[in-house]
Amino acid sequence: MDTPVRRRHLIAGLVATVLAATGGLLVAPAPAQAADAAHRSLRTADNPDWMRHLPDATSLAALSLPGTHDTLAIHGGAWTQTQENHGNSAATLAVQLRAGVRAVDIRARINEGNTLTIHHGGTYQQANFDDVLNVLGSFLAARPTETVVMRLKHECTGEFGSCTDASGQLGFADVFDRYRAARPGLFWAPSVNRSAGAAVPALGAVRGKVVLAVLHGPRGGRHGQYGLAQFADWGHGSSTYVQDEYHVPNVGAIATKRDRVRRHLDATSAGDPTRMYVNFASGGSVFATPEAVAGGALGVQGVNPFLLTYLNEGSEVHPPVRRTGMLMMDFPGGGLIDRIIAVNAGRTS
């Protein structure tokens, strides 16, 4: 059966096969667009504690959260990399957090010793889950007004184009529980309860903590009831509160992806104010790299510059965006991160 996750792994595997068959003649395209305010300029944003201005009573559902898709995918070439490379061992995550990113997408493989290593498909991203938690713990200890929402995904299916877990280890949820228990207080406790999903919290309850939104299995299911109860139907791809139409078959189809992002932004602004919404600006395929989808290519506007324009447009053009929800991006620019954060100034309760 064709599913979004199977399609992604097949794409990665097909690219690897073609590279091998052609001796590497399938050359990765040059960056689709020069760095600008919307794209590939992460360090130009400096928002280490932007949540300090928000009242404790503010629901997480009311917030506009800059996020990164496949947060630590910095290795593997043009079809695998989704973020600017600011260093291994989750140093890239530290730069994202400093810029203002507050929603992260972590993909992990079960390794020897019941440990988790960070992967995108078959590519190890030179970071381990301990690195991720070290960076998050240090950041939140220094900036206790902040919170970070995490989507954690068991990445390995063992299929072509994916990774394979080490044999003889505990199950993914059991391994995660070991990490959680070793760092008491880092995660917001109701979100890491295997047997019961949590209600969407107010900001005051989760300052200085990581909120687990969902713990995903490798083929679309969830591990237990971890995370927020409202995401019970969030598998791979889109669901009630999630837009994740990942497959962008070619550069021309970036326009369709832009429209899907726009429609979900509008739905988020007009939707249930007690629910969190998740909007993936990311996408790709063999014929459209994540870089091309984010920044644009061949005269087609990328999703990131489109987003910055759409968020800046006034009511004479379209109803203003009153919240973005978790906006998960590839190669975000500093100006785009700043603009998403600025949406919160108009909606804080």
For residue 32, is it within any domain?
no
Query: Which tokens go with 237?
Result: 């791809």
pLDDT of 8: 56
Q: Which pLDDT tens digit goes with each residue over 318-334?
A: 999 999 999 999 999 99
pLDDT-derived band of residue 237, with 50, 70 and 90 as boundaries? confident
Structural domain includes residue 17: yes
Q: Is residue 36 part of a domain?
A: no
Query: Is residue 184 assigned to a domain?
Result: yes
Residue 339 lies in a domain: yes
Residue 64 lies in a domain: yes
Domain count for the chain, please give it: 1
β-partners of residue 148 are 210
184: containing domain: 4-27+41-346
CATH of the domain at 133: 3.20.20.190
Give DSSP secondary structure letters for 11-36. HHHHHHHHHHHTTS-SPPPPPSS--B
User: Which H or E run contains 182?
Assistant: helix 172-182
Joined tokens for residue 284: 């790709």
Mean pLDDT, the chain, integer: 92
pLDDT of the residue at 15: 52
Query: Does residue 33 fall inside a structural domain?
Result: no
Q: What is the pLDDT of residue 219?
A: 85
Q: What is the DSSP letter of 279?
A: E
Residue 34 lies in a domain: no
* Distances 235 to 1, 8, 170 between C-alpha atoms, Å: 15, 14, 22
> What is the average per-residue pLDDT within 295-310?
98
Task: Please state, in angstroms and rounded to a whole number, the distance separating the CA atoms of residues 292 and 297.
Answer: 5
Q: What pLDDT is attached to residue 22? A: 35
Q: Rounded CA gap, 303 and 280, in Å?
A: 10
Residue 27: per-residue pLDDT: 44
Quick check: 1 pLDDT over 90? Answer: no
Position 130 scores a pLDDT of 98
Q: 212 by DSSP, 3-state: which?
A: strand
